[in-house]
Chain A
């Protein structure tokens, strides 16, 4: 299986461990990824500022992938939501498609609607399958309690995301549990991590993040687990800022799903960058058996 990987802009410097762990896990599971050098930002940051600039960015990446006859896989919920939404607009609205394609034509590109956008969790769950993954598990993370955080744009809006039941999702939990860990139930599970307001309204953003962290901790979690760079940066880097700004004592480290499954697949912690997370996550190695 071969896919074009949309790397999120935020990962290249702030979250290198997401890139290295994703590369390693996909290799171990036999998914071939292609890096299209000309890929642009998905446009998500401009969705509420210049909608057309957003649409253009996403459509451009779709066109580039189409040219290579590849589907796109994202490792970010916001890229996923943006690309998927743009794909639908391009497919359902001939007039918008025409206008966008006029601009894309200037660099010899055109999007005809032949690409499917997938999230890395979707590839793992649907294409490799829980049983497929289980066969490759080398080590179990028994006794580990995980607060699984889906992230908004993987589930909502349902017409766009189409990953799982947005009210009662289970796929990510299954993916977590295949490692031997337990995905706990926690009341704030489906809420936003707070990152969209980070940098705009920091106090509110911290309130929302703190609320989730405390809830997960009270529900017995040892770790948060996410599959989106924005969520991870919020739960990791911003949690550290939360501690320093508010003197919060309660700490709950967050781990990327590709790091978690990577450990279970027997990939070494260094490649997965377990030590690169800002909130010390190396404690997870104790659960490996």
Chain B
């Protein structure tokens, strides 16, 4: 009764969760509310897409992907043999246990005429599959907690490992204590023994105690050879056809042997029953919580692999692409492959923002898809993390569940930038890749973040006004001079005698008919202002942010001033200033 009730409750929660999660694929977006992406339209677009795919030549691709990537998991094998073994053990062990053992009522009994959980090969296979799962869990724990692989283990990862281990261990121990349990033995005798003869029952029990590890208080060894031989005869008639030797359950039997000294006690406190409750309740909790945990990848990951095999960002319906992207966020298993191969992973050592790492961006992106108002600090962090990407596409190439991560970064980045929070990195060469895709963005969406950051820069640098007829040296930034002086790049500045050769050599300066008007300061003026400590006019000058880094000025300087390198350093300082300023604003 309790079993059935809890089964239906957990199944109910599971189904509710499943519907809730799957519907979120159609409800959520990374962009704002766009008419074309209303849930109803997305559902019909996806049905249309699926139908068209199923009745086109792409079906072959789907079949191929299903066998190679979903079942054989070739993408994991390509990355690492150890991980392939780990995941294969978990996947196949768990799947087969689920089909053969958990669903035995529906599958095993109808598939095999003489199925019985106590008979071989099923008795043995249950242990084998269980062992596979445990090996998988073991390798996973080893990789996450002992091997020096760059992995970030979060609450969800720990939960997944815990619930799997709990289900498996409770199962093994349950079988183990049942092997030793006299109560279990007795109930089998009552149900199946063809004899009621006291003597026959006694020799049978002696045989099971001696050979199969039952702990009995009624009969005690050592037994007579004769008695065992008789016991064996009864066993073969009454038991053997439905019960293979328990030794075949090799793990549970070893556990039973270890627990033998406690056998009687465990049986008296009805320990098998307790373990049975633990075992099925752990399974039901796992089932009920599945749609809300990382284990949901069981459903979303194969779909991601299949969808990415046949979808194309240029040809597919934009509504379906958005649906796919939200689904991909659920498909992530947080395995960390993307992060381990990320070309800019090392930046996280210097910039304290974990969201630089691909594997750590998906969770926050999902949170953003759910609620666009994450709060300024979170958005700032995620936005910076998304921008700190060299667009090498390695993450996308290696993702074992085929998520098009690079496209997620692109979509997510633009959605966040649209919130209007200034992003300093837009002024770095990382913007080159954003520029390459400017045709994928509407003009306004493309231009706005650039003007936002330029304005933020102006607002942050109001110290000295160059338009004033008299510059107030009191307002000079003394720290600026000191910081600049620390580097060997800039100590050369003091040799500058303002000959303007650098400005004449600069292709940007040469481009404008009236350089001071267009650029604010030209390179020689920047060097001069830097020596005086007037940082703000430099920070907001167009020249600084229009510097190509082509080193023409530095090559031309007759005094050996490292003009370009100084400009690089000043940009670093401006970024630092912006960051401090924006942090202060967020906090206040």
Contacts and interface: CB of A to CB of B under 8 A. Distances in A.
B346 A60 contact: yes
A191 B550 contact: yes
A9 B436 contact: no
Contacts of A167: 555
A112 interface: no
Contact of B552 (A10, A46, A50, A156): A156
A196 B569 contact: no
Contact of A49 (B428, B435, B508, B511): B428
A230 B432 contact: yes
A51 B569 contact: yes
Nearest to A106: B349
Contacts of A152: 548-552
Contacts of B426: 199-200
A195 B432 CA distance: 7
A134 B391 CA distance: 37
Contact of B432 (A53, A60, A191, A199): A199
Select the residue from A46, A49, A53 with max chain B CB neighbours within 10 A. Answer: A49
Contact of B391 (A9, A46, A107): A9
Contact of A12 (B394, B427, B435): B394
B343 interface: yes
Contacts of A273: none
A204 B435 contact: no
B575 interface: yes
Interface string A20-53: 0000000000000000010111011111111111
Contacts of A287: none
Contacts of A50: 347, 350-351, 572, 575
Interface in A58-96: 60, 93
B434 interface: yes
A198 B435 contact: yes
A192 B547 CA distance: 11
A194 B426 CA distance: 17
Nearest to A89: B488
A194 B548 contact: yes
A48 B573 CA distance: 9
Interface residues of A, number: 57
Contacts of B424: 49
A53 B351 contact: yes
A55 B346 CA distance: 10
A169 B403 CA distance: 46
A157 B554 contact: yes
Nearest to A200: B431
B344 A57 contact: yes
Contact of A47 (B546, B550, B555, B568): B568
A202 B393 contact: no
A201 to B, nearest CB: 6
Interface string B388-401: 10111110010000
Given A191-B550, A204-B546, A40 B351 contact: no
A208 interface: yes
Contacts of A201: 545-546
A51 B546 CA distance: 18
A56 B394 contact: no
Interface string A196-224: 11111110110110010000000000000
Interface string A228-266: 001001000110010010000000000000000000000
A191 to B, nearest CB: 5
B347 A57 contact: yes
B575 A198 contact: no
A269 interface: no
A13 B436 contact: no
B343 to A, nearest CB: 4
Contact of B562 (A157, A195, A199): A157
A166 interface: yes
Given A45-B428, A196-B550, A207 B511 contact: yes
Judged by DSSP, the binding face of B is: helix
Select the residue from B424, B426, B546, B548 with max chain A CB neighbours within 10 A. Answer: B548
A242 to B, nearest CB: 12
B439 interface: yes
Contacts, number: 167
B497 interface: no
B433 A208 contact: no
Contacts of A108: 148
Contacts of B554: 156-157
A136 interface: no
A63 to B, nearest CB: 11
A14 B437 CA distance: 11
Contact of A233 (B436, B552, B568): B436
B575 A57 contact: no
A103 interface: yes
Contacts of B562: 157
A2 interface: no
Contact of A41 (B343, B350, B565): B343
Interface in B371-405: 388, 390-394, 397
Contacts of B433: 10, 199
A100 B568 CA distance: 20
A197 B569 CA distance: 18
Contact of B349 (A41, A47, A56, A207): A56
Contacts of A46: 347, 388, 428, 430
B511 A208 contact: yes
A166 B555 contact: yes
Contacts of A157: 551, 554-555, 562, 564-565
B282 interface: no
B571 interface: yes
Contacts of A45: 390, 428-430, 432
B436 A199 contact: yes
A99 to B, nearest CB: 11
Interface in A172-188: none
Interface in B309-346: 341-346
A197 B434 CA distance: 11
B429 A196 contact: yes
B350 A52 contact: yes
Contacts of A106: 349
Given A12-B392, A106-B349, A156-B551, A198 B428 contact: no
A98 interface: no
14 contacts: A12-B392, A13-B392, A13-B393, A39-B343, A40-B342, A44-B429, A49-B572, A50-B572, A191-B507, A200-B429, A201-B546, A208-B548, A233-B436, A237-B436
Given A40-B346, A47-B549, A49-B572, 15 more contacts: A13-B392, A13-B406, A41-B344, A45-B428, A48-B428, A48-B571, A48-B575, A51-B572, A53-B349, A56-B349, A157-B562, A196-B549, A199-B429, A200-B428, A211-B511
Interface of B: 148, 341-347, 349-351, 388, 390-394, 397, 406, 424-436, 438-439, 450, 488, 507-508, 511, 545-546, 548-552, 554-555, 562, 564-565, 567-569, 571-572, 575
